[in-house]
Amino acid sequence: MAVDYAVIVVYLAGMLGMGWWGMRRAKSKSEFLVAGRRLGPAMYSGTMAAIVLGGASTIGGVGLGYKHGLSGAWMVLTIGFGLLALSVLFSARIARLKVYTVSEMLDLRYGGRAGLISGLVMWAYTLMLAVTSTIAYATIFDVLFDVNRTLSIVLGGAVVVAYSTLGGMWSITLTDMVQFVVKTVGVLLILLPVAVVKAGGWSEMRAELPDEYFAPLGIGGETIFTYVLIYTFGMLIGQDIWQRVFTARSDKVARWGGTAAGTYCLVYAVAGAVIGTAAKVLYPNLANPDDAFALIVKDELPMGARGLVLAAALAAVMSTSSGALIACATVANNDIWSKLRGLGSGAGAGAADAGAAGSAADEPHDEVKGNRVFILAMGIAVVAIAIALNDVVQALTVAYNLLVGGLLVPILGGLLWKRGTVQGALAAVAVGGLAVIGLMASYGILATEPVYYGLLSSLAAYVVVSLLTRPTDEAILAHWRERLAGRDGDGEPVPAATAADPGAKTPV
């Protein structure tokens, strides 16, 4: 195992080194939060694929393949479908807005009064996403070094917090590119063929396992539909995903780079399910399907390759964890703290949003320092919650239910329906979010009903309240159209709450 340990140690040291390098690049708010909006197609595709394919997609995807066979690919497939839909239908418009958060987009569209409540919901989602990714370190480090759960979480979390705090999105982008390569080599090029060969080949797998393991819909239609609602729609509106869209240097990069990343997700989904199916042949009686990944790596791979594939699992977790962490900190600083600070000073919504975007007089280094403080604070909170929390699935389910039930309708409604109003958006967030929470308490956290009925109630509230209230002011809509077209909107009345940040106007 000495060679495997060396591979992991070198990998972790490399992540910290890239954090230090990224610190030298991140000299402004735009550089720190969205990599200066300068990523080309190769880096954009790699980092986008890295963030959406985390520990759940890797370890969990193999576990679903172990339990259900090829249809276990559906969870990761729906992630890929969501990324494809986002890239083809919305990413170009999102990239042209030149904002930093989803809530800033809502303020632009509705006139500056929807950001705080939507920011709270988005913050809860990104926080729990970061927590669940951090918990996954316990499984990986236990296999690697046989250390206890708390130490595993602290070790993995400390590395991610360190490089994210140092260099922000530049560090995360660089590390994600390495993680993308490591995952591709480790999972697709090494583990996949080895697993199939060790299981006796495709014909032996077919002979050993029942036919339902090879049925495309074997996991069940209701489960697939739930995956679509949670993961496909979640990809369309998550701050962690949008923040990567904001890094694209042009809307063309956002569209085609994201399409490439989504296609990669589909391949990764099938690979994980096949590996899990092969593991079922090799280890037919595992009590926990999620143990399949670690066991097949530990028992079937040669020295060196084993370390690389475990590094791939670690890379999957780190990429999602770092992306969720910077998203959580960005929302906390830009959408919550700055608005509360503005309200507390009696400056009103306009000053609050101006604080969120940063005034022209702000020093770039002060902007970077403030965001670093928030990443560090959120990182410490994430590690502490991860140590205290045991049930990863429940935490992730709560996060996605709140995200989809509370924010899907006002976000997509703002992009697609001119008649939607700020009152309708606020009603949709409140009604959908409260419905999801109440139904989870009634039906159970893992039930499917909360997200179904929460989404329907959010849609009903949005449409009814929007139609009953005054249409959005034409000046706000005119400015919105200008920003969607990639123009700053000079000459149009700009609502005070939506004044653009100078750092957001980096040329593309």
Count CA atoms within 13 Å of residue 97 on its CB side: 24
**Phi, psi dihedral angles at 286 (to 5 degrees):** -70, 135
Annotated domain spans of the chain: 1-339+370-390, 391-487
Are 439 and 453 in contact by the 8 Å Cβ rule? The answer is yes
DSSP H stretches of helix in 389-421: 392-416
Cα distance between residue 267 and residue 274, in whole Å:
11
pLDDT at residue 257 in the model: 94
Residues facing residue 39 across a β-bridge: 248
| Longest distance between any two alpha carbons in the chain, whole Å | 72
Cα distance between residue 424 and residue 471, in whole Å:
10
Which among 33, 6, 46 is positioned nearest to 319, based on CA atoms?
46
Residues facing residue 248 across a β-bridge: 39
Cα distance between residue 131 and residue 139, in whole Å:
14
**Phi, psi dihedral angles at 360 (to 5 degrees):** -65, -25
Amino acid at 69: G
Cα distance between residue 36 and residue 38, in whole Å:
5
Are 383 and 132 in contact by the 8 Å Cβ rule? The answer is no
Which among 374, 377, 370 is positioned nearest to 28, based on CA atoms?
370
- Treating both helix axes as pointing N-terminal to C-terminal, what angle do 149-183 and 115-145 enclose, rounded to 10 degrees? 100
Are 312 and 185 in contact by the 8 Å Cβ rule? The answer is yes
3-class SS of residue 248: strand
pLDDT at residue 144 in the model: 64
**The dihedral of CA 416, 421, 423, 424: what is its sign?**
negative
Cα distance between residue 212 and residue 96, in whole Å:
46
Which among 395, 402, 411 is positioned nearest to 431, based on CA atoms?
402
DSSP H stretches of helix in 184-290: 192-198, 201-208, 221-227, 233-237, 239-245, 251-282
Q: What separation in angstroms does the CA of 135 have from each of 164, 168, 321?
A: 18, 22, 10
pLDDT at residue 357 in the model: 43
Return per-residue pLDDT of the chain as tens, 508 residues.
677 677 777 877 877 787 777 777 777 888 888 888 888 999 999 989 988 888 778 888 899 999 999 999 999 999 999 999 999 999 988 888 888 888 888 888 988 776 678 888 889 888 888 888 888 777 677 666 777 888 888 888 888 888 888 888 888 888 888 888 888 998 899 999 999 999 999 999 999 999 999 999 989 988 899 889 888 988 988 888 998 999 998 889 999 999 999 999 999 999 999 999 999 999 998 888 888 888 888 888 887 777 778 777 777 788 888 888 999 999 998 888 887 776 655 544 443 344 444 433 344 445 788 888 999 999 999 999 888 876 666 677 777 888 888 899 999 999 899 999 999 999 999 999 899 999 998 888 778 888 889 999 999 999 999 999 999 999 999 999 888 887 764 333 334 333 333 333 333 3
Are 31 and 22 in contact by the 8 Å Cβ rule? The answer is no
pLDDT at residue 56 in the model: 77
> Judging by beta carbons within 10 Å of its beta carbon (0-12, 13-18, 19+), is residue 345 exposed, middle or buried?
exposed
Cα distance between residue 186 and residue 50, in whole Å:
13
- The model carries a pTM of 0.82
Q: What separation in angstroms does the CA of 41 have from each of 44, 82, 451, 484, 486?
A: 5, 19, 34, 21, 19
- Options 2.130.10.10, 3.40.430.10, 1.20.1730.10, 3.40.710.10; CATH of 1-339+370-390: 1.20.1730.10
